[in-house]
Amino acid sequence: MLAAGVLLIFLSVLTVHGTDTVLDVDYYIEYDYDYTTEAPLDIEYDNWLIDLLEESSACDPYPCLNGGSCQSKSATEFTCSCPEPYRGTRCEQVRNICKDVKCGFGDCIINLNKQPFYECKCKPPYQGSDCRTLPASPCEPNPCKNGGTCIKTKRRFRCACPDGYSGKFCGTDPNDCYEGNGESYRGAVSMTEDGQECLDWKSNFILLNGQNPFTAYSNFSGLDSNTQNHCRNPDGDDKPWCFIKKRGKLDWNFCKVKECSKAPAAPPQPVVPVVPVAPNPPQFSECGKPQPTRIVRIFGGKKSFPGAHPWQVSVQTRTKGSSTTFFHMCGGILLKSCWVLTAAHCINPNEELQVVLGGVNIDKHEEIDQTIPVIETIVHENYKEKTEALYNDIALLKLQVTDSPYCAKETRFVRAACLLSQPFPPGKECVVSGWGKTENRTYSSHLLNTRVLLISQERCSIPQIYGNVLDNSMLCAGILQGGVDSCEGDSGGPLVCEEDGTYYVTGVVSWGIGCGLRNKPGVYANVHTFLNWIESKIN
């Protein structure tokens, strides 16, 4: 599983200062070429989430968000009058503010605190409210910061930075660096390692193709109105990073910001008695904690980064006794170091199995992969495969010990999911992940994920959906309008729900009718029903 790509950069001069290698680049900023911003996407919003929850408590408790005004139509119906720029049944959405905005040679930046709720951020040397005005000279006014000198040539200019300063516009001072993994970094670097300019964190392009970073990383103090396009590390990655626009799509990359010098060695200290240190907690002593991940754009779903779903397993198979290559067959969920939960219909007694954990690309080997043989399969005693449905579709895989007493080893990318003690209520938003069938191909080589809603057994059993074929070994989750679902390649994979930052296995992908069809949500093995069975086997 290959997690990283190769990025091409063009650098004009390489110099070395002392023991630190520094890239000093003559950045020429070309202008007078047609690289205007594309017309923003025309997004049609819908209210499937609100419709499915069937809010029926009128204005108590207060249902309207973002300052909306609630008017009660009856004891069970209400209407929210939304202030600009919000819309939706509960004022939960922001309209596409930049839809009809033309920012010319610039980017449309969202500002929800001030009308008209956007501004055009111009690329130097362009000016004006629509970023289409060229000054008499690109160096007037001087776009270079910190005393940099603007040097004009034909249809382009560059900034000659004073000693120690760097960046396209000399915005990076000599002391700009990050400590540790850079979560505390508040510097001004706004360029990636391959020389691309970062997008403003408030860029409409990020909102249209991902999520609002200020919402997704609301607990991170380093994003505010003054952050602009400066590099940050809001999700605990290895170093500061930023979003970029690459070939018309939203992407990201680590930033060209240096790590602060290590502190000088401390003077020798007098010898003191050794105090025993408490041992580290055993592996897998905590469950349900994923690695925080950045936002990016299964069926109707999004690509996953390593560590986002650390309990995700690729269950792979080949004919018993053969030497052929294993291939991905189903998903699975890591419950303990030596136990994986999957679907019963994934088990074939004539095949041998192995599991791969950690990585996200099943077509490539990744350094973070762990590949472990399966030494025992346990299919539920009451598993039944009928024409209309799969009943008690659950199984356990026992893994081979690799480093006694462990089978899988806990890392940032391999962790166990939790088993839930109480079922979550209908309407709960949960996450399904896998390498399953997508709109365009038989399976995805890259791990995908999407959000779905738990649907009550009563509603899922109406004639228009699945009728009377469901029993308590199953649960439904999805979006009744269609378009988002798990598909057959995801069989055995996880449906997890989060509470207080911990993720609990709620379902195992089992069956459904079609993929992403209206009124045909995915059907999952109901893990809560099988708690006693699971615990009796793995304990």
What pLDDT does residue 322 have?
92
Please pick, among 304, 314, 444, 491, the residue that the annotation labels catalytic: 491
* 461-494 confidence digits (pLDDT tens): 888 889 899 999 999 988 765 655 555 447 899 9
User: What end-to-end distance do the CA atoms of the chain give, in Å?
Assistant: 32
d(CA 491, CA 342): 8
Q: Are 482 and 520 in contact (CB under 8 A)?
A: yes
- Give kind and range of the element (H or E) at residue 510: strand 502-511
Q: DSSP labels for 329-376?
A: EEEEEEEETTEEEE-GGG--TTEEEEEEES-SBTTS--TT-EEEEEEE
Question: Quick one: 238 exposed, middle or buried, by C-beta within 10 A (0-12, 13-18, 19+)?
Answer: exposed
d(CA 127, CA 136): 11
One fold for 59-95 and 309-399: no
pLDDT in tens, the chain (539 residues): 433 332 222 222 222 333 333 334 455 555 544 433 444 433 333 343 334 334 334 576 677 888 899 988 765 577 899 999 888 887 877 888 888 889 999 888 888 888 899 989 888 889 999 999 998 899 988 999 899 999 998 888 999 999 988 888 898 888 899 999 899 999 999 999 988 889 999 888 887 776 778 877 777 889 987 889 999 998 777 899 999 988 888 888 899 999 997 544 444 444 444 444 445 567 887 787 776 554 432 444 566 777 889 999 999 999 998 999 999 999 999 999 999 999 999 999 999 999 999 988 888 888 889 999 999 999 999 999 998 899 999 999 999 999 999 999 999 899 999 998 889 998 888 999 988 754 444 677 888 888 888 988 988 888 888 989 999 999 998 876 565 555 544 789 999 999 988 999 999 999 888 776 777 888 999 999 999 999 999 98
- Which overall architecture, per CATH, does domain 418-538 show? Beta Barrel (2.40)
Q: Are 68 and 77 in contact (CB under 8 A)?
A: no
d(CA 311, CA 439): 25
Decide: helix, strand or coil at residue 459.
helix
Please pick, among 235, 393, 485, 490, the residue that the annotation labels catalytic: 393
Question: What dotted CATH number matches 309-399?
Answer: 2.40.10.10
Structure-token pair, residue 537: 């086997």
Using the Cα atoms of residue 156, residue 162, residue 163 and residue 165 in order, give the sign of their dihedral.
negative
The pTM of the full predicted model, rounded to 2 decimals, is: 0.57
Please pick, among 345, 380, 486, 510, the residue that the annotation labels catalytic: 345
486 tagged catalytic:
no
491 tagged catalytic:
yes
Q: How many CB atoms lie within 10 A of CB 420?
A: 19
Residue 208's φ and ψ, nearest 5 degrees, are -75, -25
Number of residues that make up the chain:
539
Domain boundaries of the chain, sorted by first residue? 59-95, 309-399, 418-538
DSSP secondary-structure letter at 286?
A: S
Measuring CA to CA, how many Å separate 117 from each of 65, 112, 129, 229, 438?
18, 5, 14, 18, 36
Pairing of strands 418-419, 502-511: parallel
Question: What dotted CATH number matches 59-95?
Answer: 2.10.25.10
